[in-house]
Amino acid sequence: MLFHVTMDVNIPNDADPTAIDALKAKEKARAQELQHAGVWRHLWRVAGRYSNVSIFDVASNGELHDLLSTLPLFPYMEVRVTALCRHPSSIHDDDR
């Protein structure tokens, strides 16, 4: 199943910068791991915001939730999820 996921990150101003830098490094590593695994198919930064738009390819809503909750910055995220299905006019065979 494909999901369009928007993640807005809201780190408190009084958060420890060293701890946040460590979380960001872990976040990058986890995001790249999931991309290499093929479940995080697209990752796009939203210009001008600490936000991204992503496409995930997972088996279920539950799998997506479990995966998102493994992201180190998850406690600081507002996440919006939209389930997707193939458009009949699409020319791409891999957008199931």
Could you tell me if residue 90 is inside a domain?
no
Identify the residue with better confidence: 86 or 19: 19
User: How many Å apart are CA 88 and CA 92, to the nearest integer?
Assistant: 10
| Residue reference for tokens 């830098």 | 21
Domain of residue 9: give its range: 2-84
Q: What's this model's pTM, rounded to 2 decimal places?
A: 0.90
Note whether residue 29 is domain-resident.
yes
Check residue 95 and give its pLDDT. 64
Alpha-carbon dihedral sign for residues 17, 53, 49, 8: negative
The answer to whether position 58 is within a domain reads yes
DSSP 40-92: EEEEEEPTTSSEEEEEEE-S-HHHHHHHHTTSTTGGGEEEEEEEE---TT---
CATH of the domain at 80: 3.30.70.1060
DSSP-based three-state secondary structure for 37? coil
pLDDT tens track for 33-82: 999 999 999 999 999 999 999 999 999 999 999 999 999 999 999 999 99
